[in-house]
Structure 1
Amino acid sequence: MQPSELSIAEAARQIERRTLSPVELVQSALDRIDEVEGRLNAFVVVTADQALEAARRAEEEIAGGGYRGPLHGIPVGIKDLYDAVGLPTTSSSAVRSDHLPTEDSACVARLRDAGAVMVGKTHTHEFAYGVLTPTTRNPWNTGHVPGGSSGGSGAAVAGGECLMGMGTDTGGSIRIPASVCGTVGLKPTYGRVSRFGITSLCWSLDHAGPLTRTVRDAALTLQVLAGFDARDPGSAREPVPDFTGDLDAGVRGLTLGVPSNYFFDDVDPEVESAVREAIGVLEAQGATLREVAIPYAEQMMAVEFGVLVPEASAYHQEMLRESGDRYTDDVRVFLDAGETVLATQYIKALRVRTLVQQAFRRAFEGLDALVCPTLPAAAAAVGQETFTFPGGKETAVIDAWVHHSAPGNVTGLPALSVPCGFTSAGLPIGLQVIGRPFDEVGVLRVGQAYESATDWSTRRPAL
C-alpha cells in the first residue's frame, strides 16, 4: 500500500508516531496525481510546489513537538468554489477565470490552521449548478461521470489523489459524487459549517462538508470545520461536540426509520437490493427498524427547485448580464429559467419548505436516524441523459439523483453517504443516513457501525 492510499486516521497515527513523514505522504499523493490525473481530470490546478513546502513545514513543526492534530500533514483537495489566497477561484467557469480572492474561506483557513496540506483545487460542475462535473471522470469506470457538483473531489479521493476533498451540497452535491465514486460524503446540518468565502449556488440550501475514504475521516474533518462564524448569516450558534466520541458505540438500542415511500419508489433493482441488505446488517447489529412515511413527498422536488432556481439566478444576475456568453449552455438555461420565476411562486416554495421541515421533525419522533438509498441509480455513462426504472419510467439523470438527496437540503438535516456495494457492472452504491438537527454524532455512529461490519470502504478502483 502506498502512503496516499491510507485513510486520514491511519496516516495521522503514523505521522504522530513519526513513522511516516508528511513530505513522504504528500509526495505520494502528488505521484498518484501524476499517474492518474490524465484519465480523471479531477483537478483544476495542482499546487505541487506549495504542497511540498507546506509538508516540509509540517514535518519541522511535528519534529519540534508542535503536532496540531489528525489533519496535520494530510494532503487534501479543495473544491474550486472555496476561496484560497494565492489561487484563483474559477468555479470551473470561464466567467470567473481571473478571480483572485484576497482572503481564505472559513473552511480553508480552519484546514490550514489544523496543518492540512492543500494539493490543489478540484473541478466542480460550473458554479455547482449540475450533477455531472462534465470535465471529470469516474475512477471506477472512466466511461462514467463522477457525479456532481463536487465530482472533482469525489474522483480525487476515490482515485487516491488526496485523502480528503472538500465539497458543497445544495441538492446533493456531496452525497451524489460520494455515492457514485464509492467514498464517504457528509453533508452536515445547515449552519454547522461556515460557508464564508464559498461561491454560492443557493444561499438558503448551500452546505459545506467533506468527502473522505472512511466515516472516521469524515468525523475528524468535521471536528476541524465545525463552529459558529458571524461572517456567514446562516451559521448556527450550536456547541461543537466530539464527533468521534460515540463513533464505535454501535447501533444496538437505536431505532432506525426505513421509508415506506419516496426513497424506494423508483430505484434500480441492484441499488435497492444492496441498500436493503445494508439495512439488514444494521438490524443484525441490534438496531430496531421502523417503517416511516416520508411527509410531503409529492412536494419535495418542487420545493427544492422552487427555491434553488430563483436564488441561483439572483446571485448570477449581474454576471449573467455582463458575461452571459461565457457560461456553458446547460447552466445558462437554468439561470435564464430562474428569471422567469415569480416572487409569489418563490414565497410559496419557502412556505412549503417550512411545512416540510416541521413534518420531518414530527416524523423523527422516536427515531434516531433514517436509512435509505443515497441515490436511485449508480453512475451514469458519459453522455447519458436519462435512467429507465422498473415499469419503464424514464427520468432525467439530474432529476433522479436530486430526488433522493433533496430532502436533506430542504430540511437542512445532516446526511451521510456510505459505500454499501457495487452493481454487476462494478459501479459503487451508497447507503444514506439522515439524522436529527445537529446530530452528526448519531449519523456518524450509524455509518461507522455499518462500515465496520463490511469491507466496502477498503475497496479501491484499479484505474
Structure 2
Amino acid sequence: MPHFTTLVSAAEALHAREVSAPDLLRDVLDRIGRDDRFIRAFSDLTPATAEAEAKASEFRHARGDILGPLDGVPIAIKDLIDTTPAICRAGLPHLADYRPRRDADVVTRLRRAGAVIIGVLETDAGAFGTRTPQVINPIAPDLIAGGSSGGPGAAVCAGLAYGAIGTDTGGSIRIPAACCSVAGFKPSWGRVSAKGVRPLAQSCDHVGPLARCVADLQAIQAVLDPPREEVAEPAPNLRIGIAPDYFADADPLVLRAMAHLTSALADARHRMVDLRMPAPDDIMDSHMITVTREAARYHTEHFPGLWQAHPDIARDGIELGRTFSDVDYGLAQVRRRRIADAVEGLFEAVDILILPTLPMDAPAREADTVSLRGRRLPVLEATIRYTALFNQTGHPVVSIPAFRLADGRALSVQIVGARHNDQRLLAIARYLEDIFAVTIDYDELARAAQMDVRRLRRRYA
C-alpha cells in the first residue's frame, strides 16, 4: 500500500481484503521509525494497543463484520487529548508523566469505529502558540509546521498517519494545515465533544480532523459528529462571499492567489458576492482577552504553584490573562456576540465565504515577526489574523490547499459555512477541491526536503 494513499482508499483496500489492518499498521510504524526521529511529530507511540486493535480489525474484516470506513485505519491524536495508554503532556513539563485513565470522547468514538490509534502528536506548550517549534515541517524544513496542532499537520503531511485529530482555539487546525499543505476542519463550536481535551479557552476550543483531502476529513468527521440529515450535492450556482477588505493587508502572493481563485470560480458559473466583514484588528482585542483570561483561570485553578514554570509562551499568556478584569472579559463577550451575529447574517446572502487561511506563506522557522504591508507583527498574531474570528463566532471552517506554488506546495483558503451546517460545508469544500485541482506530491516533496530536515534536526538536537 503506497504511503500517501488517501484514508478512503486505504479503507477500500481493507474492505476488499487487498491489505490487512496489521500490515497497514506495520507499514505506518516502519515509516515512523525511519522518518519521525527527524520530524518529531509524535510525542508518544502506542504500538502494543495499536497492534491489538489492528488484529481485532482483521478478525472483523474476515467475518464481514466491519464497523465502518475507519475500521483498521491508523489515526493519530494531538497529545492534549486524553488517549490511553499514551503520555499526554500537552507540551507542559509538569505533565511529562501524565497518562490518562480513560480516553477523551473523540478517541472513544474513533476506537468504537475501529480506528487504530497509533500514538499522540506534539503541540505547542499548553496549545498557546502557532509554531510547534519541536516539529520540523516535512516538506518545507526552513518554514514552521504551524501550530498548535503542528504534530498532527506534520504527521499527515509526512505520511505517518492517514488522519489526525487536532484542536483549534485561534486557528490551530487550519494554520498547520496551511503550513503543511494538507486539509483541516474546524467544526461548529459544540458539535464535537471536548470532554477529555485539555482546554486552552473552553468557549473557543474546537476539536476536528486533519487529513490529505476533504473526502478523508468527511470520513473522520462522520465518526466524530455523525450526519444528522441527508446532504444534497452542491448546486452549480453557489453564492460565494468574498470580503477583500478583510484580507487587504495580505502578502501580494496571497492576493494574486485569491484573484486567481475567484476568477476560476466565476468561470465555473458561481456567483461572487462582495461582502463587508469585521476587521481583523477589531477582532484581535476581544479574542486575546477571551482566550488568555479563560486560560489563566484554568491554569491558576488546576496548576497552582506550577504554571509559573510553564514554557515562556504559556506563562506569558497566563500572566496577560490575569491582567484582565471581569469587566474587560464581559465587554469582550458583548463585542463577540455582536460580531458572531453579524457573521451569521452574511449567510442570508451567500452559501459560503472564501478567505485566505494565512495572510502570507508559512513563516520562516527563525522568524519572530512577519511584515504585512510594512507593518511588523509577531508570528503568533500574524498567523491567527484571519482565523481567530471563527473561533469567536463558532462557525465551521475547512482549510484546503487551493493555489499551487512553484516549489510544489500550496497556499490554502478557508471555506466558511453557516453555523451547524457542517456536513454541507464539507460537501461544498470537496466540490471546490476539484475545481481548484491542486495536487500535492507529498512523497516527492518530503524526499527532496529530507537532507534539510536532518540538518535542522542536528541543529536543534
Q: TM-score range by the shorter chain?
A: over 0.9
Aligned residues of 1:271 and 1:423 also touching (Cα < 8 A) = no
Aligned residues of 1:213 and 1:457 also touching (Cα < 8 A) = no
User: What is the aligned partner in structure 2 of residue 418 from structure 1?
Assistant: 400
Q: Does 1:256 align with 2:244?
A: no
User: What is the aligned partner in structure 2 of residue 267 from structure 1?
Assistant: 250
Aligned residues of 2:83 and 2:104 also touching (Cα < 8 A) = yes
User: What is the aligned partner in structure 1 of residue 363 from structure 2?
Assistant: 380
Q: Does 1:395 align with 2:383?
A: no
User: What is the aligned partner in structure 1 of residue 459 from structure 2?
Assistant: none
What is the CA deviation profile of residues 348-380 of structure 1, one whole-angstrom value per residue up to 9, with x for unaligned ones?
000100100111122221210000101111211
Letter in 1 for 2:435: A
Q: Does 1:443 align with 2:422?
A: no
CA distance in 2, matches of 1:389, 1:302: 18
User: What is the aligned partner in structure 1 of residue 451 from structure 2?
Assistant: none
User: What is the aligned partner in structure 2 of residue 430 from structure 1?
Assistant: 412
Give the Å deviation of 1:327: 0.9
User: What is the aligned partner in structure 1 of residue 132 from structure 2?
Assistant: 133
Aligned residues of 1:275 and 1:430 also touching (Cα < 8 A) = no
- Normalised by the length of structure 1, the TM-score is 0.92
Give the Å deviation of 1:283: 2.5
Q: Does 1:347 align with 2:338?
A: no
Aligned residues of 2:408 and 2:440 also touching (Cα < 8 A) = no
User: What is the aligned partner in structure 2 of residue 241 from structure 1?
Assistant: 229
User: What is the aligned partner in structure 2 of residue 72 from structure 1?
Assistant: 71
Q: Which stretch of structure 1 is more off in the superposition, 317-326 or 351-360? A: 317-326
Letter in 2 for 1:5: F
Q: Which stretch of structure 1 is more off in the superposition, 405-414 or 451-460? A: 451-460
SS at match of 1:240: coil
What is the CA deviation profile of residues 15-74 of structure 1, one whole-angstrom value per residue up to 9, with x for unaligned ones?
111112112211111121122112211000122233222212111111011111110111
Aligned residues of 2:44 and 2:87 also touching (Cα < 8 A) = no
CA distance in 2, matches of 1:279, 1:192: 30
CA distance in 1, matches of 2:278, 2:307: 39
User: What is the aligned partner in structure 2 of residue 208 from structure 1?
Assistant: 207
User: What is the aligned partner in structure 1 of residue 119 from structure 2?
Assistant: 120
SS at match of 2:338: helix
CA distance in 2, matches of 1:97, 1:254: 49
Aligned residues of 2:299 and 2:307 also touching (Cα < 8 A) = no
Aligned residues of 1:71 and 1:221 also touching (Cα < 8 A) = yes
User: What is the aligned partner in structure 2 of residue 234 from structure 1?
Assistant: none
SS at match of 1:132: coil
User: What is the aligned partner in structure 2 of residue 230 from structure 1?
Assistant: none
CA distance in 1, matches of 2:11, 2:91: 31
SS at match of 2:299: helix
- 5+ residue gaps, structure 2, are 448-461
Give the Å deviation of 1:428: 3.1
Letter in 1 for 2:353: L
Letter in 2 for 1:281: A
Give the Å deviation of 1:3: 3.3
Q: Which stretch of structure 1 is more off in the superposition, 157-166 or 252-261? A: 252-261
CA distance in 2, matches of 1:335, 1:396: 18
Moved over 6 A (4+): none
CA distance in 1, matches of 2:440, 2:408: 15
Distance 1:107 1:95, change over 3 A: same
SS at match of 1:60: helix
User: What is the aligned partner in structure 1 of residue 190 from structure 2?
Assistant: 191
Give the Å deviation of 1:275: 2.9
Distance 1:25 1:455, change over 3 A: farther
Give the Å deviation of 1:308: 0.5
CA distance in 2, matches of 1:17, 1:317: 52
- Normalised by the length of structure 2, the TM-score is 0.93
Aligned residues of 1:134 and 1:145 also touching (Cα < 8 A) = yes
SS at match of 2:240: strand
Q: Which stretch of structure 1 is more off in the superposition, 394-403 or 112-121? A: 394-403
Give the Å deviation of 1:282: 2.5
User: What is the aligned partner in structure 2 of residue 106 from structure 1?
Assistant: 105
Aligned residues of 2:87 and 2:99 also touching (Cα < 8 A) = yes
User: What is the aligned partner in structure 2 of residue 232 from structure 1?
Assistant: none
Distance 1:123 1:98, change over 3 A: same
Q: Does 1:317 align with 2:300?
A: yes
CA distance in 2, matches of 1:425, 1:6: 21
CA distance in 1, matches of 2:66, 2:413: 35
SS at match of 1:433: strand
What is the CA deviation profile of residues 209-257 of structure 1, one whole-angstrom value per residue up to 9, with x for unaligned ones?
0001110111111110016xxxxxxxxxxx7235xx54xx345121010
Aligned residues of 2:45 and 2:86 also touching (Cα < 8 A) = no
Letter in 2 for 1:409: N
CA distance in 1, matches of 2:236, 2:401: 21
CA distance in 1, matches of 2:437, 2:238: 23
CA distance in 2, matches of 1:294, 1:115: 42
CA distance in 2, matches of 1:333, 1:226: 35
Give the Å deviation of 1:319: 4.8
SS at match of 1:110: helix
CA distance in 2, matches of 1:325, 1:352: 31
Give the Å deviation of 1:151: 0.3
CA distance in 2, matches of 1:359, 1:305: 20
Aligned length: 445
SS at match of 2:228: coil
